[in-house]
Amino acid sequence: MHIHNYEKIWLVLAMIMIVGFLTTVTYGATAVGIEMISDEEDTIDPGALDEDPRFAEPRVEQVGENEYEAYVVAQQYIFSPDPIEVPANSTVTFYVTSPDVIHGFQVAGTNANTMVIPGEVAKLTVETEEPGEHGIVCNEYCGSGHHVMEGKLIIHP
């Protein structure tokens, strides 16, 4: 089979693009300083968050040497606590729930991302690597203030 030169060039260009794309994806997942390692959910009464020992007072708790749990409430149109502050090089499990409508919880620019459904507790475990600040964004339309619903995650050195 005879392959014309320009076809070879396209093949080479396609290979370069594929390799470049894979490199970007890999680099993107590891360079941001935080990475999701698991994702599941549990049930809760969305009308009684005030009486739930985890969510009555949204907060971050240290539960082991390098282990933290963050109890987060997403509601129209804030995340609590805000900011969420955790150390670098630790394992952080976020428990996130909503008392009103469906929200999103994503650490901007990372694969740490979950839907937050009233009646469910989204559980999301991440490894924090480098210190830095990340936006927390809501990526489910939740009402007129959806576009301003933003929090902050601070990863301390």
d(CA 157, CA 155): 7
Q: Which is nearer to ligand CUA, 124 or 128 (CB)?
A: 124
Residue type, 147: H
Cα distance from N-terminal residue to C-terminal residue, the chain: 59
Which positions from 110 through 139 interact with ligand CUA, judged by CB under 6 A? Answer: 138
d(CA 151, CA 75): 11
Q: In angstroms, what is the minimal distance from the CB of 96 to ligand CUA? A: 11
Residue type, 123: K
Q: Which is nearer to ligand CUA, 103 or 134 (CB)?
A: 103
Q: Which stretch binds ligand CUA (CB under 6 A): 15-23, 31-39, 51-59, 142-150?
A: 142-150
Q: In angstroms, what is the minimal distance from the CB of 136 to ligand CUA? A: 10
In 3D space, the residue among 90, 48, 109 whose CA is nearest the CA of residue 73 turns out to be 48
Residue 103 interacts with ligand CUA (CB under 6 A)? yes
Chain positions contacting ligand CUA, by CB under 6 A: 77, 103, 138, 140-142, 146, 149
